[in-house]
Amino acid sequence: MKVEFDQSRPIYLQIIEDIKRQIATGVLKPGDKLPSQRDLAVQLQVNANTVQRAYREMELLGIVETLRGQGTFVRAERSIVEETRGDMVSTLVEEFVTAMQALGYDAEAILLHVRQKLADTAGNGGERNGK
Partner DNA sequence: CTTAGTGCACTAGGCGCCTAGTGCACTATT
Partner DNA sequence: AATAGTGCACTAGGCGCCTAGTGCACTAAG
Q: Is 87 in the site for DNA (CB under 7 A)?
A: no
Q: Is 30 in the site for DNA (CB under 7 A)?
A: no
DSSP 35: P
- Residue 47's binding partner among its own copies, DNA, none (Cβ under 5 to 8 angstroms by kind) is DNA
- Residue 106's binding partner among its own copies, DNA, none (Cβ under 5 to 8 angstroms by kind) is its own copies
Chain-centroid distance of CA 47 in Å reads 20
Q: Report yes or no: 21 and 88 within 8 Å, Cβ to Cβ.
A: yes
- Residue 118's binding partner among its own copies, DNA, none (Cβ under 5 to 8 angstroms by kind) is its own copies
Q: Report yes or no: 97 and 110 within 8 Å, Cβ to Cβ.
A: yes
What lies within 8 Å, CB to CB, of 26 at 6+ separation is 81
What lies within 8 Å, CB to CB, of 36 at 6+ separation is 71, 72
Other CB atoms within 10 A of residue 72 CB? 24
Among 2, 70, 125, 131, binds DNA (CB under 7 A): 70
Q: Is 84 in the site for DNA (CB under 7 A)?
A: no
- Residue 24's binding partner among DNA, its own copies, none (Cβ under 5 to 8 angstroms by kind) is its own copies
Point out which residues bind DNA (CB under 7 A): 8, 10-12, 34, 36-39, 45-50, 52-53, 55-56, 59, 66-72
